Structure 1
Amino acid sequence: MSRINDTANVKPQAFGKVAVLMGGWSSERAVSLRSGQAVLDALLRCGVDAHGIDVKKQTVLQELESGKFARAFIVLHGPGGEDGRIQAVLEILDIPYTGSDVLSSALGMDKLRSKMILEAAGLPTPDYMVLDDDTDPEYVVASLGLPLMVKPALEGSSIGMTRVDEPQQMREAYATAAQFSGAVIAERWIEGGEYTVTILGEQALPVIKLETPNAFYDYEAKYQSDQTRYLCPCGLNAEQEGQLQRLALAAFKAVGARGWGRVDILCSEDGKPWVIELNTVPGMTDHSLVPMAAKAVGMDFDQLAYAILAQTLVGHNGNRQQGGNHVGAG
């Protein structure tokens, strides 16, 4: 068995009382609730003293403090949960938590800033432009070509994204993305295969290829469609798959991400891979990709959730590893 699944000797009592943080207030709330419930059920089946918290701005601090939790499993998607804010709260409360820290969570959530970092690190990511109310669509099209993708920088699950095939579609696509907070970006369309790479610990799991009859892998394709195909093995040869895995790890490390996550990659028709975005709190639903990749290396859903939680026992600083004053509470 791979070392990523080396948690058999970790007893459930080692975790103490665990908060599974889900819900939140982002546009991905519904997906987060489904992911969170799946993780909560898995941890309970494993014997962990796990408790679900539907995170709300007005009550989360009080619930975390009064609950005397030893650690937290973050299953919050989007702004408020994946962007460093809940991580900062947990840091202040000295509660160890799953996944990336404050800075890397914020960078991973922001598609614009993460693309800047990827560029600075010399990693391939599609050309892009930042849009505003006065941007000339013809200039964008002349610069990036058609088709292109317009997206909000701070949303996940493909929310607010539009494929643009004609210049006259730019205004409406911008208006759709601008409904959400943060910058709006237009990105050069990469024609070719779509792949995703799960990161667990220091390893990249087997690559999954995504195939959908939709214009792109949108919200409906991710969470609702039964026509989306997930191929694992992904159909690439060993050398090509290894290239994508190495690129995903490099992108993950470039923003300082840790623990677990997912990197989405497009391969153009000439075989060149392009990093599209990073996810530091990926979905954990029945349609989600991380559990599929884990299954390919022999980990079922319960083992995956348990392994992610076990990462909080070896946090990246002494306080998080020990869990401050909360370890063993409750």
Structure 2
Amino acid sequence: MKIIVLAGGLSTERDVSLASAAGICRTLIEKGHDAFLLDVFLGLENAPENLEDVFTLPGHGLEIAGNIGTAEPDLAAVKASRPDQSDCFLGPNVIELCRLADITFLGLHGGEGENGKLQATFDLLGIRYTGPDSLGCAVAMDKGF
């Protein structure tokens, strides 16, 4: 299967997401899948001309999880590192790559990755993903509910 493993984003749990998603991506590769680790906010700026080639790139996107520290992530620095300087939650080529995948594994933590908005977007676009649907996520995020 071709699988995008989405991680990162702009949550304070960014690094936890990247670390756990990298492990998931490695396991999927070991099991014979064509998996690629993708930061939902940074996306893939320098994508191959044929986006399908992402699934066979050496490294499988795992380099984005290489500099994870123990301190809380500097989200301002993450925002500043995005080449197009957009504030859009979905980075360059994220939607396109998720559409090409057989399924998208959601390895996001906190806020935008768990509140149902991304799941609703994927539902509207017909993108298959793992985990609960948008309503289930929204209800689970409301801890006082």
| TM-score category, normalised to shorter length | 0.5 to 0.7
Residue 110 of structure 2: aligned partner? 78
Q: Which among 2, 8, 13 is matched to residue 28 of structure 1?
A: 13
CA distance in 2, matches of 1:84, 1:61: 21
| Structure of higher RCO (CA pairs closer than 8 Å, 6+ residues apart) | 2
TM-score by length of structure 1 reads 0.28
- Mark the CA change 1:108 to 1:53 in structure 2 (over 3 Å): closer, same or farther: same
- Matched ranges for 1:35-54 at <5 A: 35-54=20-39
Equivalent pairs counted in the alignment come to 98
CA distance in 1, matches of 2:134, 2:125: 14
SS in 2 for 1:81: helix
More strand by share: 1
Structure 1: gaps spanning 5 or more residues: 1-15, 114-330
Deviation of 1:106 (Å): 1.1
Deviation of 1:62 (Å): 3.2
Structure 2: gaps spanning 5 or more residues: 42-87
- What are the superposed Cα offsets for residues 176-195 of structure 1, whole Å, 9 maximum, x if unpaired? xxxxxxxxxxxxxxxxxxxx
Deviation of 1:59 (Å): 4.0
SS in 2 for 1:112: coil
Deviation of 1:42 (Å): 0.7
Runs of 4+ with deviation above 6 angstroms: none
Deviation of 1:63 (Å): 2.1
CA distance in 1, matches of 2:97, 2:14: 24
- Matched ranges for 1:1-330 at <5 A: 16-56=1-41, 57-60=88-91, 62-66=93-97, 68-113=100-145
CA distance in 2, matches of 1:36, 1:105: 19
SS in 2 for 1:111: coil
**Contact 2:3–2:102 under 8 Å retained in 1:** yes
Give the letter for the 2:16 counterpart. Answer: V
SS in 2 for 1:19: strand
CA distance in 1, matches of 2:34, 2:117: 25
SS in 2 for 1:80: helix
